[in-house]
Structure 1
Amino acid sequence: MPFPASLRLKTSCAALLCTLAAPAMAIQVTDNLDLGGAIRARWDVDPDRDIQKFGLDTVFLNAKYTSDTWIGAAQYRFYGRSYPYQYTKNYGDIRFAQQAWVGYKFNPNQQVQVGLNQVPFGLQPLFGSTFYETLGNVIGLEDVQQVGAKYIQQIGDWNIQGGYYLRPAWQGQGTSHGVTYSSVVSEADSSVVDGSHNQERNTVVLRVAKALELGAWKSEVGLSGLTSTLENKDTDENGRRNAIAVHYAGKNGPWGVQLQAARQQMSPRNPGTSEVVTLGGYDGTYNVASRGNLYVADLSYDVAGKYLFDQISGVKLYANYSAFDKSADEFKTSQRLILGTSFSFSKLWIATEWLIGKNDPYIGGSSYAQSLGAGGSDQWENQLYMNVGYYF
């Protein structure tokens, strides 16, 4: 893939990188409370669509509290103006919470979290090594935050996590009905053909995992299950969402492997077609097939040592493949392949990824609203993505 760059782009990149590298300090308010955040830039290159954009991606603020008994975390994010949000006037026109919870530790192996926290489903904390995340994210199973309570207990080699979530994340600010950090069941925007208006309630989830050694591989195998109510606001009838997953994660020296298979089945009570359910997030809404299987495979390698006068460290190479195989015969399978690397450069953390997708709403300009439903262009598309962050 050719990556042409204009002088103006190079100048903008250099200026922003200098800004990101400026000194910053996390604020330790007390021995237990820390405040921090990040400033992140992104670079998108897609020659087929004549896209070459570099600009401010995200600013977020963190708060973290840790003591022997009480714990908590909160994060709030700001987006806008820069690509892909160039349609907004000001930075911060799109904003939402990523997490906001408090917890209590009964002992080092047992705790409870209450508030906006991560749903314990499948591989944790993500379904692989990628920054961009897998198709599991956009079908609402990966990196999902909802409002409720989660219980975590470690018993020897066993890790048990169970949660009850009253509702999805609170809506933030934006131009769409889907203004949350996570991809969640949402009210469709008027532009989404066959869109629906459901709300997810009373989500119950259980994740059980066991640590074990398979030869030289330090491993984890696990099983997860999720069920919830889908309240349709047009018909006033309730449907259901069910999901189950099995996963494996293994580490052998620098090598890492993560595998997962999941089944998601939704039975909405839509006034129109029930073959799709509208989800939303990051200021957009789109349709997802009601029934399908998700497959994820991730291979990674940690490169030891420091390079370039000790400025580059923590290098990871990875390849991640995910596919959403829909049950409806006429629906086209969605696929995503990511080849990438992440590393620290001085005080910056950088992820560079080659994104390859088919019927993927976020790669190559396939149909945003329908790719995860009936399908999009049904052609392989690709683009380059880089994220540069300064975390403080």
Structure 2
Amino acid sequence: MVIAAVSSTVSAQENPKVTVGGALRFNYNLSSWKPEQKSRGGDFGYDLFRINAMASYKGIYLNAEYRLYSDAFGGGMLKQGWFGYHFSETNELQLGLTQVPFGIQQYNSNNWFFNLSYYVGLEDDHDMGIKYIHMGEKMEYHLAFFKNAEEMRFGNDTEISPSRYSYDIAGRNKEINQFNGKLVYKFGNNVLQRIGISGQYGSLYNLNTRETGDHYGLALHYEATYKNWNLKAEAMNVSNNPENAPGLPREVISMAAYGAAYEVAADFNIYTMTLAQNVSVDWGPVSSFRFYNDIGYMQKKKDDFEDSVMNVTGVLVTAGNIYTYIDYAAGLNHSWLGGNYIDDFSRGTPGANWEARFNINIGYYF
């Protein structure tokens, strides 16, 4: 659900306004690497229940989303939650668990699985901090400072909880004091285009050595919309330099979300491209189809690490308040698509086979 924008003037709002929405989703999947599941024709079950709350009063507003997954996928978690203030129609401040301004947003993908960038914390990531947004007609920029990733454990040397929506660096390293900047130029008449650059730099505090390493990311991104077609392309360069204890590898980092952690290569490039077409129909409750193909390639900089690839072909079906993603997702050295979950995004497996998952996600959004 979307709440109406706060008035462009900074005049006080007389009465509080609150909007509550949410979603209930179920999921069917059939995976090539699960022989027992294939023998029973796949599995169909609970995905999530979520609540969205938006409120505004006297020029200050709230945006929050809480999700309930099964215990195996992390249980309950706050996806996002921030306070905001509009200085004008084009200038806004957000404080709290807010989306990190990096790359194509809101999503660098069209499908239910997201793109490869999501699995290494570079798509729809949310951290704790403050963000300033300017949304001009031609120019758009975002400036942000994040004290840390979402924190739920406040011990002296406590690792982050893996029960989170966004992938963040985990284990004995913690993301702290991160700066982000993003600049987008918008142009075109018949073809609406957006070209931009994003950068982030922050520290990695190690709980064993009590020393601080660093990490950075750079991205170039481009979007084009022509009639009912949409194209997205992005190139990312990322490096993580943890100050681990002697004897512990520095060419991999640990990342966590959905109740579990896995390894990711410390240094890599990611290249993504998506193409989508919207088709309007009048078939009873069905009003539109969105056909798409999203591809991502992760090039790991360490020579003996195997690269990772992901491709998703699918369609989003809209019928009233029900949105159904029908996806065929294929992956090579992909932790969520067969193979070895722990190190597919780091070392990988030489000679690994492609694995695939046919997935249908059905959600009622209210």
Taking structure 1 as the reference length, the TM-score comes to 0.83
Hey, what does 2:18 align to over in structure 1?
33
C-alpha spacing 1:283/1:376, structure 2 compared with 1 (3 Å):
farther
**SS in structure 2 of the partner of residue 182 of structure 1:** coil
**SS in structure 2 of the partner of residue 136 of structure 1:** helix
Equivalent residues of 1:219, 1:249 under 8 A apart: yes
**Deviations along 1:288-331, whole A, 9 cap, x unmatched?**
10101010000000012222x2x112210000000110000000
Equivalent residues of 1:171, 1:178 under 8 A apart: no
Note if 1:54 corresponds to 2:44. Answer: yes
Which runs of no fewer than 5 residues in structure 2 stay unpaired? 5-14, 154-159
Alpha-carbon distance between aligned partners in 1 of 2:43 and 2:274, rounded to the nearest angstrom: 28
2:202 to 223, 228, 245: 228
**SS in structure 1 of the partner of residue 118 of structure 2:** helix
Equivalent residues of 1:360, 1:376 under 8 A apart: no
2:167 to 183, 194, 200: 183
Q: Which amino acid aligns with 1:186?
A: A
Hey, what does 1:283 align to over in structure 2?
259
Equivalent residues of 2:79, 2:165 under 8 A apart: yes
Q: Which amino acid aligns with 1:41?
A: F
Aligned length: 342
2:54 to 58, 64, 68: 64
1:295 to 271, 276, 280: 271
Alpha-carbon distance between aligned partners in 1 of 2:109 and 2:194, rounded to the nearest angstrom: 14
Hey, what does 2:115 align to over in structure 1?
134
Q: CA deviation at 1:166?
A: 0.3
Hey, what does 1:147 align to over in structure 2?
128
Alpha-carbon distance between aligned partners in 2 of 1:285 and 1:330, rounded to the nearest angstrom: 22
Q: Which amino acid aligns with 1:56?
A: Y
What's the RMSD between the two structures over aligned residues?
2.1
Equivalent residues of 1:177, 1:285 under 8 A apart: no
Equivalent residues of 2:18, 2:54 under 8 A apart: yes
1:167-178 map, 5 Å: 167-171=148-152, 177-178=161-162
Alpha-carbon distance between aligned partners in 2 of 1:225 and 1:361, rounded to the nearest angstrom: 26
1:256 to 227, 230, 233: 230
Q: 319-328 or 368-377: which moved more?
A: 368-377
Alpha-carbon distance between aligned partners in 1 of 2:107 and 2:81, rounded to the nearest angstrom: 19
Alpha-carbon distance between aligned partners in 2 of 1:358 and 1:26, rounded to the nearest angstrom: 37
C-alpha spacing 1:331/1:27, structure 2 compared with 1 (3 Å):
closer
Alpha-carbon distance between aligned partners in 2 of 1:285 and 1:259, rounded to the nearest angstrom: 28
Alpha-carbon distance between aligned partners in 1 of 2:118 and 2:328, rounded to the nearest angstrom: 18
Q: CA deviation at 1:156?
A: 3.3
Hey, what does 2:314 align to over in structure 1?
340
**SS in structure 1 of the partner of residue 94 of structure 2:** strand
**Deviations along 1:179-212, whole A, 9 cap, x unmatched?**
111000111xxxxxxxxx1000001000000101
Alpha-carbon distance between aligned partners in 2 of 1:388 and 1:183, rounded to the nearest angstrom: 24
Hey, what does 1:12 align to over in structure 2?
none
Equivalent residues of 2:32, 2:355 under 8 A apart: no
Hey, what does 1:21 align to over in structure 2?
none
C-alpha spacing 1:218/1:67, structure 2 compared with 1 (3 Å):
farther
Which runs of no fewer than 5 residues in structure 1 stay unpaired? 1-24, 188-196
Equivalent residues of 2:151, 2:161 under 8 A apart: no
Hey, what does 2:344 align to over in structure 1?
371
Q: CA deviation at 1:38?
A: 0.9
Note if 1:199 corresponds to 2:180. Answer: no
Hey, what does 2:330 align to over in structure 1?
356
C-alpha spacing 1:287/1:220, structure 2 compared with 1 (3 Å):
same
Q: CA deviation at 1:128?
A: 1.8
Equivalent residues of 1:171, 1:179 under 8 A apart: no
Hey, what does 2:358 align to over in structure 1?
384
Equivalent residues of 1:41, 1:55 under 8 A apart: yes
Alpha-carbon distance between aligned partners in 2 of 1:281 and 1:171, rounded to the nearest angstrom: 13
Q: CA deviation at 1:47?
A: 4.6
Alpha-carbon distance between aligned partners in 2 of 1:31 and 1:231, rounded to the nearest angstrom: 41
Alpha-carbon distance between aligned partners in 1 of 2:231 and 2:61, rounded to the nearest angstrom: 31
Q: 370-379 or 65-74: which moved more?
A: 65-74
Q: CA deviation at 1:170?
A: 2.6
Alpha-carbon distance between aligned partners in 2 of 1:373 and 1:183, rounded to the nearest angstrom: 15
Q: Which amino acid aligns with 2:265?
A: A
Identity of counterpart residues, as a percentage? 25
Q: 44-53 or 237-246: which moved more?
A: 44-53
Alpha-carbon distance between aligned partners in 1 of 2:104 and 2:185, rounded to the nearest angstrom: 12
Q: CA deviation at 1:48?
A: 4.2
C-alpha spacing 1:258/1:58, structure 2 compared with 1 (3 Å):
same
Alpha-carbon distance between aligned partners in 2 of 1:259 and 1:238, rounded to the nearest angstrom: 33
Q: Which runs of 4+ in 1 moved over 6 A?
A: 25-28
Note if 1:156 corresponds to 2:131. Answer: no
Q: CA deviation at 1:131?
A: 1.8
Equivalent residues of 1:287, 1:373 under 8 A apart: yes
